[in-house]
Structure 1
Amino acid sequence: MTALEISHFSLREKLQIMQAIWEDLRGHVDRMDVPESHRVILDSRRKRVENGTSALLDWNQVKHSIGKRQWTFASRQKMPRHLSSRSPSPDPKR
């Protein structure tokens, strides 16, 4: 099946396909090799949760927080000026 063929499916059909793929992958995840760099990050995150410096969020908490985070100074530096909340709006006549 190609991306072009999938593009003709309804949203419902696409979501059903995605769900079937995720359910299939779930049965194979224990056989996947995790790169060492990823394992280091995951171990660090687990330790932060265990020692109480970070908390796990359930999916509903994550969904409600999307788009509500404040940009940090560092992330603003990487954003184009017209997307930064501190820069003036671009002139629509240009």
Structure 2
Amino acid sequence: MERIDLPLSELTLSQKLDLMEAIWDDLTKHDEMIESPDWHERVLDDREKALAAGKAKASDWQKAKERIRKNVSCE
């Protein structure tokens, strides 16, 4: 595959995010071809066990997104 060089240092943050979103959208069209690394399954298993043992608690998805948005600034 040919290497693609992008002038990343010349792009605005907004342009970089748009580029990442376009790449992600394209990747998800073929997500069945992407295998998760083994460690993903181990982490998920550990988290599931922690939830079952009462050592962790799950967050409501909407509340989690709000919390993330408050902690991340895209300016």
When normalised by structure 1's length, the TM-score is 0.48
Percent of pairs with identical residues: 30
Query: Which runs of 5 or more residues in structure 1 are unaligned?
Result: 67-94
Equivalent position amino acid for 1:64 in 2: K
Higher relative contact order (CA 8 A, sep 6+): 2
Tell me by how many angstroms 1:20 deviates.
Answer: 0.6
**Structure index of larger Rg:** 1
Give runs of aligned pairs for residues 7-22 of structure 1, distance below 5 A: 7-22=9-24
Query: Which runs of 5 or more residues in structure 2 are unaligned?
Result: none
- Which structure 1 residue ranges, 4+ long, deviate > 4 Å from structure 2? none
Mapped to 2, the partners of 1:11 and 1:34 lie a distance apart of: 28
Residue in structure 2 matching 1:59, options 35, 48, 65: 65
Residue in structure 1 matching 2:43, options 41, 49, 66: 41
Which of the two has greater helix per residue? 2
